[in-house]
Structure 1
Amino acid sequence: MQPFPPPPAPVRPIRGLALTVVVLLGLCALLELLVLVVSIQRVSLVSGVIDDPESANVETLTANDTWYGFAGLTQLAVYVLTGVMFVVWLYRARCNAEAITPIPHRRSRGLVVFSWVIPIVNLWYPLQIVDDVWATSSPRNLPPDLGSEALNRAPRSPLVRFWWLLWLVATFGSMLFQRAAARDDSLEAIVATARVDIWFAAPYVVSAVLAVLVVMNITTAQERWRLLAPQAY
């Protein structure tokens, strides 16, 4: 006598986590705009001091220093919190995607969390993970009857690819340029560092907007499936 097959895994609610991530991404974008404004003022003020030291306004420079430090620290704290919540959401989305389309993903569940902090592989493993979750959250994205090979031939979302490219540029590009710019404590180095903040503001903001679209697209697909498949419970 054949044993009964195990019941399908439940597709768990994910909208609440998604909304939390979306709000945090929006806050990241707003803080990046604050950094942009403060950095533009910083370049103007410090460049003026370089050109004419006698024109220095100590109170204005001190206020700019305070805002620059506040914006940077606040941005870092929110960025870390957003990253943590994004990974929590992605892990839930991965579990749901496996329940919706029970085929092997290219990367293990553990790498959903740890691939972001492993050097080298963090340049493309997270992209593959999000790509696979996107594809398996809506089975119509996959070619029929390919089993474990389906993900290798599934069409990839340009939105996910564009988000990932901009996120890499904003994150790793800004870090490299910041290290090169902050070579010493000179006024010229201060100006160079602020200019890096200005250059990478647009990629940061656009990547945050695209991340919102990625999160909401996957969430909408999974919530639609959850509501249409109550038998999974």
Structure 2
Amino acid sequence: MPTPRPVPGPASYLRSPVGLGRAAVALLGLVIAVDLFAVYADLVLYDVTGDLMDGASGGAVARRLDDANSLNTVAGGVQSGSLVMSVIVYLCWFVRVRANAGVFAPDTQSMKPGWAIAGWFVPFVSLWYPRRITRDIWDASSPLGARRSYLLVNAWWTLWLLSLLGDRVGSAQSGSADTADGMHAGAYALMISDALDIAAAALAIALVLRLTRMQHEKALAGPGVPAGA
């Protein structure tokens, strides 16, 4: 006999995460597309600085370097814009699925709802609070009796942290570079950072799709329905 789920309070109710989930996926896809453009810009800069290291000189190389720097500036600006839009919509979706999790299984939620936003921005705790909240949401959204695996959650969070680290390293190296060698190393570091961001965004899409589907199916199944019933 399945364990009966706790009855939510009178002010608690479910709201569909499907629309916000689709919007979050679309904007994360935009982030990936923009990051691919940024990788191309990094490659252009990496190529021309490599030529400078090999001793190339003259007006043609100087123009290529100016064009490469301009391309990277454009890429950086577009990346910032797409990231801001993606973060806003993703957080709206995250708050929605956290609220639903509190209806499905309030006893599995180890943190208050406000941390669904604050946990991303408070220094130090932002390194693990969002993952912890996501795991709580995953537990609450899973069908009753289903075997739980956090592989997707852990892989997404690991790549997210690596992408943040890569961005810091890449930005520091490229920002302080004033020689061909330094610019070459900075372009390489930015390529790695952008590649990690693409991987993290791809797993974020998978996570959004999975959690959205889990909550949608659980809401349609009704209370107290075990997995496979």
> How high is the TM-score relative to the length of structure 2?
0.85
CA distance in structure 1 between the partners assigned to 2:157 and 2:80 by the alignment:
20
- Which runs of structure 2 are paired with 1:5-20 in the superposition (5 Å)? 7=10, 9-20=12-23
Shift of 1:123: 0.7
CA distance in structure 2 between the partners assigned to 1:213 and 1:141 by the alignment:
23
* Counterpart check, 1:74 vs 2:78: yes
CA distance in structure 2 between the partners assigned to 1:56 and 1:42 by the alignment:
16
Query: Is the 2:109–2:136 Cα contact (8 Å) retained in structure 1?
Result: yes
Query: Is the 1:131–1:156 Cα contact (8 Å) retained in structure 2?
Result: no
Shift of 1:71: 0.7
CA distance in structure 1 between the partners assigned to 2:110 and 2:197 by the alignment:
28
Please point out which of 24, 34, 38 is paired with 2:37.
34
Please point out which of 162, 165, 169 is paired with 1:172.
165
Query: Is the 2:29–2:201 Cα contact (8 Å) retained in structure 1?
Result: yes
Cross-structure match for 2:219: 226
CA distance in structure 2 between the partners assigned to 1:174 and 1:127 by the alignment:
20
CA distance in structure 2 between the partners assigned to 1:72 and 1:141 by the alignment:
46
**Secondary structure in structure 2 of the residue aligned to 1:117:** coil
Cross-structure match for 2:116: 112
CA deviation vs aligned residue, 1:71-114 (integer Å, no higher than 9, x gap):
11110111122112111110010001111123151221111101
- Which runs of structure 2 are paired with 1:156-195 in the superposition (5 Å)? 156-195=149-188
Aligned CA RMSD, in angstroms, stands at 2.2
Shift of 1:116: 0.9
Matched letter for residue 137 of structure 1: S
Shift of 1:129: 0.6
Query: Is the 1:12–1:226 Cα contact (8 Å) retained in structure 2?
Result: no
Report runs of 4+ in structure 1 exceeding 6 Å deviation. Answer: none
CA distance in structure 2 between the partners assigned to 1:209 and 1:50 by the alignment:
35
CA distance in structure 2 between the partners assigned to 1:56 and 1:220 by the alignment:
56
Cross-structure match for 1:90: 94
Query: Is the 1:115–1:121 Cα contact (8 Å) retained in structure 2?
Result: yes
Q: Unpaired runs of 5+ in structure 2?
A: 1-7, 224-229
**Secondary structure in structure 2 of the residue aligned to 1:54:** coil
Query: Is the 1:94–1:133 Cα contact (8 Å) retained in structure 2?
Result: yes
Please point out which of 183, 194, 209 is paired with 1:201.
194
> How high is the TM-score relative to the length of structure 1?
0.83
Cross-structure match for 1:61: 65
**Secondary structure in structure 1 of the residue aligned to 2:70:** helix
Count of paired positions: 215
Query: Is the 1:100–1:136 Cα contact (8 Å) retained in structure 2?
Result: yes
* Counterpart check, 1:48 vs 2:51: yes
CA deviation vs aligned residue, 1:118-148 (integer Å, no higher than 9, x gap):
1111111110011111110124267xxxxxx
CA distance in structure 1 between the partners assigned to 2:68 and 2:74 by the alignment:
10
CA deviation vs aligned residue, 1:135-182 (integer Å, no higher than 9, x gap):
10124267xxxxxxxxxxx94411000010011001123313432453
**Secondary structure in structure 2 of the residue aligned to 1:107:** coil
**Secondary structure in structure 2 of the residue aligned to 1:52:** coil
